[in-house]
Amino acid sequence: MKFRFSHRLPPFAHTTIFNHHRIRSTSFFLRKLHSATKQARVSVNGSGSSSDSKGNPFLVPGATVATIFMLGALHARRMYSDKKIEDARESGIELELQPDVKAKFLAMLPLRSISRFWGFLSSTELPVWLRPYAHKAWARAFHSNLEEVALPLDQYASVKDFFVRSLKEGCRPVDSDPHSLISPVDGTIVRVGELKEGVMIEQVKGFSYSVSSLLGAGSFLPLMTAKDIHEEEGGQQENNNRDDSTKSWWRISLASPKLRESSSSRPMKGLFYCVIYLRSGDYHRIHSPVDWNILLRRHFSGRLYPVNERATSTIKNLYVENERVVLEGKWQEGYIAMAAIGATNIGSIELFIEPDLRTNQPRKKLLQSEAPEERVYEPEGTGVLLKKGDEVGVFNMGSTVVLVFEVPALKKHESSEFRFCVEKGDKIRMGEALGRWHDL
């Protein structure tokens, strides 16, 4: 019997060769990473002698691996949450408040410390050759548009630098209509509406939170007392009984050099709100929604719960509990406030108008809540003037912005002439109109 021998390699030989090449490529990657780390350490220390021997050669690689692992975990969590939310929407189910074990578990975690640690990791400088790969991985995981990035990817030294990136000029045109209020951020509309009795904003179906609690007890939110409402109702009835000829009287408003009609047809003010959620892949700079004067800043050192859609349906008073920075001021139509809500891994909220502000600092009181820190901007009564579209601040991860503002109204007992251009669930970009109104 003759045996035939194949000139081809057996299957296990291919596997052996493949593994050999994979080991060689892995070793090459590690040597390159270690070499880049050594060069970066030498450039920082100024020499490669004694200071180099004292450094930790695994600092940068360890931080890089931890960062990549964190990105993967965040991406997996986001995909799981988005799938459940999409399934609920397709079924026509609106989320309701349903506290669960996860919410109680989150309350026991040191989320502020975890967020500070994540801030340290994301701020770690990456080797130049690794930056494009890391930033492209982030963009692919969270659907960021790399065509809008202002600088080459290798010029963003860390994940944080890429996250708070600016955009190319012209990527976010600002609506030029003088009777429009624009979105201050890129994001998804969570809630819009008019503030009515109780001055509450709906968090989810069946549960609302107080605007005064969100903005602070010292807020100068324009609210009417029960006595004022009663007097206005009585005055409205009296004016309705007057002859139409009395409506021809004019009076001068001391607030502005314009002639206005009598109180029966004079434009009134309405209070409105808008809640916008920023995802991790969105553009994270905050801009001015209108021309306004920022009079006061109020910083609340609260918790750092996540603010995604699942969290809003499981945690009561989510936005009131979380750390936030509130800016209050005035614009041509009256009162306006903007609250930047922090979240897990987003304890850092930076203001370009106040670079010294530091958020997510270690608390002085562990068990008791701290009073908000306030700052009145100079000159008092005028504050900081910002134009529509000007940069205000930046989030260091995805989070939420809440706007509360006054707009013109037709009459005291009629809905405002202001109309939102968006509704719940719409995606919006900075500079696009949230709503419009017309001269009365």
| Active-site annotation, residues | 186, 287, 399
| CB-based burial label for 206 (10 Å; 0-12, 13-18, 19+) | exposed
**Beta bridge partner(s), residue 385:** 293
Q: What is d(CA 428, CA 122) in angstroms, rounded to the nearest whole number?
A: 27
Q: Say how many C-beta atoms besides its own lie within 10 A of residue 342's C-beta.
A: 30
Show the tokens assigned to 410: 């037709």
DSSP states of 16-59 as a string?
HHHHHHHHHHHHHHHHHHHHHHHHHHHHHHSSSSHHHHHS-TTH
Report which residue type is found at 212: S
Helices then strands, each counted (H, E), the chain? 11, 19
Q: Is the Cβ–Cβ distance between 52 and 38 less than 8 Å?
A: yes
Q: What is the CA radius of gyration of the chain?
A: 28
Would you state the structure tokens that stand for residue 184, as one six-digit string?
């201050």
> How far is 268 from 182, CA to CA, in rounded Å?
22
* Spatial CB neighbours of 71, under 8 Å, sequence gap ≥ 6: 137, 138, 141, 159
Cα 150 to chain center, whole Å?
A: 20
Q: Tell me how far apart the alpha carbons of residues 160 and 210 are, in angstroms, rounded to a whole number.
A: 33
- The partner residues of 297 in beta bridges, in order of sequence, read 327, 375
Helix, coil or strand: residue 393: strand
